Structure 1
């Protein structure tokens, strides 16, 4: 089921205002429990990069085209 433009816009706002802060808290909690200081710096960096970009891949369809004008709007 494809989401309408309005629905995607609302969901993207919800994800950015509610979901993303919750994800940050979750990722911070997980990463704080790991002993990252024992790992090489490159591995630690890759773990932080993974957690930094992993959230966007499942949510990409919601954000796609939200910044564009509404395609269903009448001129």
Structure 2
């Protein structure tokens, strides 16, 4: 069952306002548990973790910024 445009906006807002800070804390904790690495390797790891979060949320976020296709057009 597909989500309505309004529901998709709400889930996206929840994911970005609640899920994103939790993901950041988890990523920093994960990197903190690893043994000390060279600064560039650590930077690369943060860049990869900063990009990876979007893949599971991509279907949810896609099309949220567009107008509701089911809404009536007012002229």
On whether the aligned pair clears a TM of 0.5, the verdict is yes
TM-score of the superposed pair, with normalisation by structure 2? 0.85
- How many pairs were matched up? 73
Residue 4 of structure 2 corresponds to 4
Q: CA deviation at 1:40?
A: 4.0
Residue 42 of structure 2 corresponds to 44
Residue 30 of structure 2 corresponds to 30
Residue 13 of structure 1 corresponds to 13
Residue 72 of structure 1 corresponds to 70
TM-score of the superposed pair, with normalisation by structure 1? 0.85
Q: CA deviation at 1:53?
A: 0.9
Runs of 4+ with >6 A deviation = none
